[in-house]
Structures are given as C-alpha cells and as structure tokens.
C-alpha cells in the first residue's frame, strides 16, 4: 500500500528529532516509505520550512551521493534570550538562597522541562563546531551534561572525585580547589571513556574560582585532547582572580545578602551572536 504524505511527514519529524546532528541519506527515507526520492525531497522542503517557522530548528541539506539531510536543533537568539529571562526570574527568589551565597538549583536540574531547555540552549552555542564529547564533574553537572549531549547527539563523560570499581582503570590529576586557594584535590576519569585526540566541551552548574573547570582542562590534556569551550549555568560571586577566563555563563549571581536573605541574578555572558 502506498504511504501517504501525511504519514511520511509525521514519521520524518519523529525520526529527525530522535536523530539530531546526524547525516541521514535520502535513501533511508525512500526505502522506509517505498517512495521516490523526488517525493522525499518535497517532504523535506515542507519539514524544513515548518521547523524554521516554528523554532524547532534547522534542516541542512547536503547534495550529492554522500549527501542527505541533517537536523540541527539550534535555537534562535530570541528564544535563547527568552529562556535566560525566564531563568533569572525563576532564580530571583530568596527561598533559593543557601548558606555561603549558593543558589538552590537541584529542583531545576531534576526537572525534564527545565533540562530540555538548558540542554538545547547550551548545545546551540556549539552546534557549528566539532564536539566529540561533553565532560562534567559528578554529581551536579551530570544532568546538564546529559541534556547537552542529547541535543548534540554525542557521548558525555563524568569526572569523579572518587573512583569506583565499575569504572575500570582511570587517569587522575591533582588540581587546586578554587575557593580555598591552596587546597589540592584529586579528580579522575575512566581511561576507556574518552578517546585520545577528542574535542571536548566542558559543562558544570556553578563556577566560582574556576578550580574545577581548570582541573577538567588538565585532565583533557592528559588524554591528548582539546577543549572546545566551557559553559556553566551560574557564575558565582568571587573575590579574587579566577583561574579560568574563557567560559560562558547563562546567569550571574550578582548580589547575595544572607542577612536580609536577598539575591540578585542577572544574565551571564552567554550569547549566540
């Protein structure tokens, strides 16, 4: 039986969303629906226009024998701005203030609705670059890394402060913990989890002095790999010189008054432009 265009459009949409950042040959669809390539091309034009109009993302078409179509779930700069405004609004509440000037984020980092948007926003900054792996440190960074990795469709790796038997052999480094200037700590990564020569994107929840991010950079060097960038959700107040300067942050904690229990959160330096 001939498969109707309406069915093809629905199934193509689902397939593309499940396979972001992946080059899909047109033959996959023409076989899947037993349809001519010309019909599939017409379908993809409709999908492409709708995706762009509705902010779902971009469809890149690569011509030729090795060509196909690739779904890039990049957000528009306007949608990113809207998200960061929403994030600041959500966080500007005294109930989120924790001892030490930290902000309570755990609920958002466990909420699929926020995680989908956080992942897509951060991934959007790196969609035009080659990223082989997303890296974070356990535990709080894991949901962020996973969300970003879903939209980039690449693996993520978890650096740990304590190793586990289920990790196999590891590579470890020492790093200077940012907050208390000369406390030296250890972090390690499973040897199998990262290939030598990878391009790595670092993500984390907070950045204070930058010690943790710096530790991950050292670890990436141990794997003869390269840092593509570093993005954190929140940049905390820090009195002193940070050990990392090259990073982007979605938001900035500007003022915290633990006595009055007030907090002021503003947009960070993150931007798609």
What does the binding site for a second copy look like in residue numbers (CB under 8 A)? 5-7, 9-11, 13-14, 17-18, 46-47, 49-51, 53-54, 56, 98-100, 102-107, 110-113, 115-116, 138-140, 142-143, 146-147, 149-150, 153-158, 160, 164-168, 190, 192-193, 205-206
Of 113 and 259, which CB lies nearer to a second copy in the complex structure? Answer: 113
Residues 6+ away with beta carbon under 8 Å from 237: 101, 253, 254, 255, 256
Our CB check for a second copy shows the closer of 26 and 109 to be 109
Q: What is the rounded distance in angstroms from the CA atom of residue 265 to the CA atom of residue 77?
A: 20
Of 164 and 186, the one with the shorter C-beta distance to a second copy is 164
Minimum CB separation from a second copy for residue 181, in Å?
A: 18
Evaluated on CA atoms 229, 149, 90, 205, the torsion sign reads negative
Q: Which is nearer to a second copy, 9 or 176 (CB)?
A: 9
Q: How far is the CB of 273 from a second copy (least distance, A)?
A: 26
| Closest CB 95 distance from a second copy, rounded Å | 9
* Distance in Å, CB of 1 to a second copy, minimum: 11
Distance CA 79, CA 271 (A): 11
Cβ nearer to a second copy, comparing 84 with 118: 118
Please give the C-alpha separations between residue 105 and each of 53, 73, 91, in angstroms, as whole numbers: 32, 25, 8
Q: Number of C-alpha atoms within 13 angstroms, CB side, residue 186?
A: 7
The answer to whether 185 touches 136, Cβ cutoff 8 Å, is: no
The residue with tokens 């629906």 is 33
Give least dist CB 217 to a second copy, A. 19
Residue 65 CB, nearest approach to a second copy (Å): 25
Q: What share of the chain is helix, strand, coil (3-state, %, to 5)?
A: 40, 30, 35
Identify which of residues 104 and 271 has a Cβ nearer to a second copy in the complex. Answer: 104
Q: For the chain, how far is it from start to end, CA to CA, in angstroms?
A: 48
């Amino acid at each position: 039986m001939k498969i109707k265009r309406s069915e093809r459009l629905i199934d193509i949409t689902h397939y593309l969303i499940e396979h972001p950042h992946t080059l899909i040959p047109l033959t996959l669809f023409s076989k899947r629906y037993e349809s001519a390539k010309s019909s599939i091309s017409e379908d993809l034009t409709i999908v492409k226009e709708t995706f762009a109009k509705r902010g779902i993302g971009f469809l890149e078409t690569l011509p030729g024998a090795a060509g196909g179509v690739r779904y890039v779930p990049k957000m528009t700069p306007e949608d990113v701005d809207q998200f960061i405004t929403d994030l600041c609004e959500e966080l500007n509440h005294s109930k989120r203030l924790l001892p030490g000037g930290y902000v309570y984020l755990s609920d958002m980092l466990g909420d699929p609705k926020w995680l989908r948007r956080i992942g897509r926003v951060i991934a959007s900054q790196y969609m035009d670059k080659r990223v082989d792996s997303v890296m974070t440190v356990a535990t709080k960074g894991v949901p962020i890394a996973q969300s970003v990795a879903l939209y980039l469709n690449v693996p993520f790796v978890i650096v740990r402060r304590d190793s586990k038997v289920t990790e196999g052999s590891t590579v470890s480094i020492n790093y200077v913990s940012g907050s208390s200037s000369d406390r030296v700590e250890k972090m390690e990564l499973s040897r199998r989890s990262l290939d030598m020569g990878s391009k790595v994107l670092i993500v984390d929840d907070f950045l204070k002095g930058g010690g943790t991010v710096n530790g991950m950079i050292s670890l990436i060097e141990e794997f003869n790999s390269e840092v593509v960038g570093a993005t954190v959700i929140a940049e905390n107040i820090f009195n002193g010189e940070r050990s990392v300067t090259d990073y982007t942050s979605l938001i900035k904690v500007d003022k915290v008054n633990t006595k009055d229990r007030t907090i002021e959160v503003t947009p960070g330096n993150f931007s798609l432009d």
